[in-house]
């Protein structure tokens, strides 16, 4: 089965992006270009920015500044 493609031109933001078609936030690892998917392999969608942002911080590791 072919993975679902997300029209990136319509998604705005860095890492956490609003998908106007699905009316939810999507999470992307900007280092690898990979989209966060659920356990079934479908694109993960989040109803709130804070939930998507938390998932993004786990999905795309960031260096911690001490």
Please report the pLDDT score of residue 17 as a whole number. 92
Please report the pLDDT score of residue 64 as a whole number. 56
Task: Tell me the per-residue pLDDT of 5-63, one tens digit each, with 9 for 90 and over.
Answer: 555 545 556 789 999 999 999 999 888 889 999 999 999 999 999 999 999 988 887 66
Higher pLDDT, 64 or 29: 29
Please report the pLDDT score of residue 14 as a whole number. 76
- Give the span between the Cα atoms of 52 and 54, in whole angstroms: 5
**What single DSSP character describes residue 21?**
T
Please report the pLDDT score of residue 26 as a whole number. 95
Phi, psi of 30 (to 5 degrees): -70, -20
- Ordered by start, the domain boundaries in the chain are 16-59
- Give the span between the Cα atoms of 31 and 15, in whole angstroms: 9
Please report the pLDDT score of residue 33 as a whole number. 87
- Give the span between the Cα atoms of 31 and 5, in whole angstroms: 18
- Give the span between the Cα atoms of 14 and 60, in whole angstroms: 11
């Amino acid at each position: 089965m072919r993975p679902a493609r997300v029209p990136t031109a319509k998604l705005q933001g860095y890492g956490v992006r609003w998908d106007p078609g699905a009316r939810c936030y999507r999470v992307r690892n900007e280092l690898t270009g990979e989209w966060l998917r659920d356990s079934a392999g479908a694109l993960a969608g989040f109803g709130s920015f804070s939930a998507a942002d938390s998932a993004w911080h786990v999905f795309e590791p960031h260096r911690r500044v001490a």
